[in-house]
Amino acid sequence: MKEKLEELKTILAEVDDISRAVAIANWDLETYMPPGGAEGRGNIVATLSRMAQETFTSEKVGGLLDELMPFATELDKDSDDARIITETKRQYEKLVKVPAEMVGERAQLRAVGNPAWRESREKSDYSIFKPHLEKMLDWVQRYADLFKPYDHIYDPLLDDYEANMKTVEVQETFDTIRPQQVELIEAIAAAEQVDDSFLHQAFEEDKQRQFGKEVVGAIGFDFERGREDKVTHPFATNLGYGDQRITVRMGDDFFNPYLFGALHEAGHGMYEQGISKDLARTSLYTGTSLGIHESQSRMWENLVGRSKPFWDHYYPRLQELFPSQLGNVSVDDFYKGINIVKPSFIRVEADEATYNLHIMLRMEIEIALLEGSLSVDDLPEYWNTKFEEYLGITPDNDADGVLQDVHWSFGLYGYFSTYALGNLISVQLWEKVKEDIPDLEAKVGNAEFKPLLTWMNEKIHVHGSKFPPQELMQRVTGSGIDGTAYISYLKTKYGDIYNL
Amino acid sequence: MKEKLEELKTILAEVDDISRAVAIANWDLETYMPPGGAEGRGNIVATLSRMAQETFTSEKVGGLLDELMPFATELDKDSDDARIITETKRQYEKLVKVPAEMVGERAQLRAVGNPAWRESREKSDYSIFKPHLEKMLDWVQRYADLFKPYDHIYDPLLDDYEANMKTVEVQETFDTIRPQQVELIEAIAAAEQVDDSFLHQAFEEDKQRQFGKEVVGAIGFDFERGREDKVTHPFATNLGYGDQRITVRMGDDFFNPYLFGALHEAGHGMYEQGISKDLARTSLYTGTSLGIHESQSRMWENLVGRSKPFWDHYYPRLQELFPSQLGNVSVDDFYKGINIVKPSFIRVEADEATYNLHIMLRMEIEIALLEGSLSVDDLPEYWNTKFEEYLGITPDNDADGVLQDVHWSFGLYGYFSTYALGNLISVQLWEKVKEDIPDLEAKVGNAEFKPLLTWMNEKIHVHGSKFPPQELMQRVTGSGIDGTAYISYLKTKYGDIYNL
């Protein structure tokens, strides 16, 4: 059986190598590729993606897994080997259920639907995207139905990003926190407002970058095993063991996009940098779910990067770099400014207090569309009504409303939820860290980030995908994903800032 | 048969996609990869290279070629389809002759021998590299023997870089020009020397780069379909249709390395940019041989970039950028300075007049080693004796002598010759261009490079690997590769500069 396992691992290593080559090609596409390369690069990525999929879903792998599954039960169930077998089996079973024609069909729908969405958004004309949305929705419904029986049609979709998680778990969690978040932002709206105008002025790009790299290096992103490059839409990607790339967006007339984006992507990057080398080139060599991943990015972006102790330490340095912009702004005002709460239309620009509401709206819409209780025709109006209900404002047009996100044009349903889950998890973990490191905030105020990172390394990162998200949370915190800590974090933080 | 051909093309497209992914991974490795990525990248490149080779040498491809070869004879023999079949067949037959174990063995020898060579050169201690050189030489001899019967053991090696070319052709060519080059440099040594001290001073990197990019763009390198990045050892690489990368080395205390290197790599790049899109993702989608490739790089580097008309046009701009360095240097002195002839030990730093002698020495050594008339023990002494004979100087140590090049540690025999062939071909083509564009030099003096590039596009580039090098030269110039024009070019140019 040891030999069979080695055989499986050899194939998984090949699959991983091919997938990393795709990641390299995609990273280059977003960072440095000249415009002329688009068509050729599309072919390269398509061919390699197909090869990775074909290799992973081959009968060879299926046979090995059948032989190895009984063996896995003889192993320590938390050993790398046992988990490699069972997690590979889980992924394999999902993938082989999808006929090759359906994979091809989705590629087609994306190739046509994504440009249509782009045009639709540019013209703020929903009718352009509508037929494509309808076709993709039909595909997604048929995809979900491949995994029948299910408790809920949304389950197999969510499961693609949060293994083993159920729709009802997420719904219950969101239902508990939503009214409290709505109430909080209503209270904030009624309070004295914060001024953040000093953030909206010219900040020299090179100095922003210098400061950002100092900070990203200080929190623990390892530049010997990674790098940071500029792009239009930031992301983080793991190009193989010891090579983690993060990307950032520069804005020279607004302070926030670069620095907080860099901290966010560094959070993703440090998760991947922390995975055990033993798991490299296996099916476990990646963060375990998008929600857990997002917990890491949001933790460094918000719980550290938007905290008072952090700026008590770093603000003098920032003032030194930007004396004309920030010389006369106090650290208190700066702290309030970067934490301003202001309901707005665009999710990616949303503050901490409103962000989850953007997500919940999307999840409800996805479920209603999939269940058939909402029609594609009625979607824009439904969006606007719900938006007003949760955030108190109504989008002026569909470009700033239902058309703002790329996800649905790619058929990504279930994906949005993970952004909000990440917020909740980040605070749940933070509370747990404080049990082990009671002076955590003082350490942050002293720019001592190592204890925090080490804790995350040991409890979360090192395991890669060994434990599905809810199991990991149980192991680490003693309970599943839960919004209580997040709500109380929001209430304390914004109660303070807005004198509620 | 059309269907069989389409089947073959589909597989060739996959092979090309995989190979380009390897090229992307290698480009990134040389340009931006953080140090930690080395091991992982090695795995990715090894896996994908093996997959490309396995796909290309599969029985499937063999069967298709067997069926298609008769069909090829029914087609116009110069059609893309006929040449795709016959050239694929040629490559296929060579590759399937090499047992998988021998491929693995070479990878092993390289993995051990290359670091040994590096250490050997650093310490200038030949004994460290010697046993590895011996083993690799043995491998190369066995490799060549796979292709018996041959006229000469060097033939199958040379053929890897110059399809269908014979050792005796190269030997005859080199034998004709060598004494004339030796005589020329002796005459130059006896003449009044040129001063190039003004090139050895600080030139600001950003201004060098600015000038270089202006010039590289002006000669016709298309930055919409390519880009230029910094590396330690420059190269050019085609990452797929419409995406040609060139790389450069910056030296801020010597003018030459960057600019002439950039022109050189741009020459390679423009060759690849000029290949017909119809050949993309086929076995013909690359320059036809290293020699023809080198003719393009050397043409732009030397025949254009080190010519008087070129600097009559560009020198004022250069002086404007570097007033303190070049303000008092006349264009005549500058022209002479960048064309200084000075026998030196290191091939990659050699001037036009001495360069080929470095190459001929290496080719003679390779042949003597392969034939067994020279032993690995006697190699350093043989090197030094020959070096004195050709260049009039003797290396002080082996690091600056026999250990200077990486090639032998990789088992690359036959490769060096192509550098000198490139020089000869560049002038042969240049003479031919002048028949069609009689005022070519005046056009260069006017920075009108388009007619020259168009000529190369139409006669050379567009064909990719459709025609092997000697056949291509016959088609374009009416004769095979020949050194006569090159010698007369050298005599005229340096006769002028050195008042011979």
pLDDT tens track for B142-178: 999 999 999 999 999 999 999 999 999 999 999 999 9
Over residues A295-338, the pLDDT tens digits come to 999 999 999 999 999 999 999 999 999 999 999 999 999 999 99
Q: What is the pLDDT of residue A458?
A: 98
| Band of residue B133 on the pLDDT scale cut at 50, 70, 90 | very high
Do residue B147 and residue B76 come from a single domain? no
Cα(A113)–Cα(A131) distance, rounded to whole angstroms? 9
Do residue A268 and residue A322 come from a single domain? yes
Instruction: Chain B: give the shortest CA distance to residue A328, in Å.
Output: 36
Q: What is the pLDDT of residue B252?
A: 79
Does residue A374 fall inside a structural domain? Answer: yes
pTM reported for the whole predicted model: 0.96
Cβ neighbourhood burial of A451 (10 Å; 0-12, 13-18, 19+): middle
Sequence-ordered alpha helix ranges (H) in B57-159 = 59-74, 80-96, 100-123, 126-145, 155-159
Token code pair at residue A371: 């269940």
Contact state of A239 with B280 under an 8 Å Cβ cutoff:
no
Question: Which one from B87, B162, B228, B265 is the annotated catalytic residue?
Answer: B265
Q: What is the pLDDT of residue B391?
A: 95
Contact state of A242 with B44 under an 8 Å Cβ cutoff:
no
Do residue A86 and residue A176 come from a single domain? no
Q: What is the pLDDT of residue A139?
A: 97
| Band of residue A402 on the pLDDT scale cut at 50, 70, 90 | very high
The answer to whether residue B128 scores a pLDDT higher than 90 is: yes
Which residue among B48, B223, B225 sits closest to A18, beta carbon to beta carbon? B48
User: Nearest-CA neighbor of B344 among B354, B352, B336?
Assistant: B354
The answer to whether residue A90 scores a pLDDT higher than 90 is: yes
Q: Choosing among A11, A15, A41, A231, which should be mutated to test the B contact, i.e. which has the most B CBs within 10 A?
A: A41
The answer to whether residue B115 scores a pLDDT higher than 90 is: yes
Does residue A206 fall inside a structural domain? Answer: yes
The answer to whether residue B239 scores a pLDDT higher than 90 is: yes
Average pLDDT over residues A196-217: 97
Over residues B75-96, the pLDDT tens digits come to 999 999 999 999 999 999 999 9
Contact state of A43 with B18 under an 8 Å Cβ cutoff:
no
Rounded to whole angstroms, the maximal C-alpha distance in chain A is: 69
| Band of residue B251 on the pLDDT scale cut at 50, 70, 90 | confident
- Locus of tokens 């298709």: B64
- Using an 8 Å CB-CB cutoff, list chain B residues near A206: none
Q: What is the pLDDT of residue B497?
A: 98
Do residue A91 and residue A144 come from a single domain? no
Instruction: Chain B: give the shortest CA distance to residue A264, in Å.
Output: 20
Query: Helix, strand, or coil here: B98?
Result: coil
Q: What is the pLDDT of residue A251?
A: 79
- Using an 8 Å CB-CB cutoff, list chain A residues near B23: none
Nearest CA in chain B to A277: B40
Which residue among A35, A46, A243 sits closest to B33, beta carbon to beta carbon? A243
Query: Lowest-confidence range among A15-24, A107-116, B434-443, B490-499?
Result: A107-116
Q: Over pLDDT 70: what percentage of chain B? A: 100
Do residue A86 and residue A149 come from a single domain? no
Radius of gyration from C-alpha coordinates of chain B: 23
Nearest CA in chain B to A52: B48
Query: Which of A80, A96, A112 is a domain's end point?
Result: A96
Query: Helix, strand, or coil here: A237?
Result: strand
Average pLDDT over residues A195-212: 97
Name the pairing type of β-strands A236-238 and B226-230: unpaired
Contact state of B242 with A38 under an 8 Å Cβ cutoff:
yes
Do residue A369 and residue A482 come from a single domain? yes
Q: Choosing among B47, B54, B277, B282, which should be mutated to test the A contact, i.e. which has the most A CBs within 10 A?
A: B47
Do residue B73 and residue B161 come from a single domain? no
Do residue B379 and residue B475 come from a single domain? yes
Close Cβ partners of A313 (under 8 Å, ≥ 6 residues apart): A444, A445, A446, A447
Average pLDDT over residues A133-145: 97
- Using an 8 Å CB-CB cutoff, list chain B residues near A13: 43, 47
The answer to whether residue A498 scores a pLDDT higher than 90 is: yes
Does residue A269 fall inside a structural domain? Answer: yes
Instruction: Chain B: give the shortest CA distance to residue A16, in Å.
Output: 8
Token code pair at residue A282: 């296996």
Does residue A111 fall inside a structural domain? Answer: no
Query: Helix, strand, or coil here: A102?
Result: helix
| Band of residue B248 on the pLDDT scale cut at 50, 70, 90 | very high
Q: What range does the domain containing A55 cover?
A: 1-96
CB A377 within 8 A of CB A406: no
Which residue among B21, B38, B43 sits closest to A48, beta carbon to beta carbon? B21
Do residue B374 and residue B426 come from a single domain? yes
The answer to whether residue B181 scores a pLDDT higher than 90 is: yes
Over residues B420-434, the pLDDT tens digits come to 999 999 999 999 999
The answer to whether residue A285 scores a pLDDT higher than 90 is: yes
Do residue A295 and residue A387 come from a single domain? yes
Close Cβ partners of A46 (under 8 Å, ≥ 6 residues apart): A107, B17
Does residue B113 fall inside a structural domain? Answer: no
- Using an 8 Å CB-CB cutoff, list chain A residues near B19: none
Close Cβ partners of A411 (under 8 Å, ≥ 6 residues apart): A106, A109, A110, A113, A136, A139, A140, A143
Sequence-ordered alpha helix ranges (H) in B124-238 = 126-145, 155-159, 167-190, 205-219
Average pLDDT over residues A469-474: 98
CB B209 within 8 A of CB B250: yes
Q: What is the pLDDT of residue A40?
A: 96
Contact state of A18 with B225 under an 8 Å Cβ cutoff:
no
- Using an 8 Å CB-CB cutoff, list chain B residues near A230: none
Q: What is the pLDDT of residue A431?
A: 98
Number of folded domains in chain A? 2
Helices A100-122 and A126-145: crossing angle, nearest 10°?
Answer: 160
Do residue B266 and residue B340 come from a single domain? yes
Does residue B110 fall inside a structural domain? Answer: no
Does residue B107 fall inside a structural domain? Answer: no
Q: What is the pLDDT of residue B273?
A: 98
Handedness of CA A152, A156, A161, A164 (dihedral sign): positive
Q: Over pLDDT 90: what percentage of chain B? A: 99
- Using an 8 Å CB-CB cutoff, list chain B residues near A51: 14, 18, 51
| Band of residue A261 on the pLDDT scale cut at 50, 70, 90 | very high
B88: CATH: 1.20.58
Over residues A42-76, the pLDDT tens digits come to 999 999 999 999 999 999 999 999 999 999 999 99
Contact state of B37 with A239 under an 8 Å Cβ cutoff:
yes
CB A238 within 8 A of CB A221: no
Contact state of B40 with A240 under an 8 Å Cβ cutoff:
yes
Do residue A162 and residue A285 come from a single domain? yes
Contact state of A224 with B48 under an 8 Å Cβ cutoff:
no
Does residue A101 fall inside a structural domain? Answer: no
A481: CATH: 1.10.1370.30
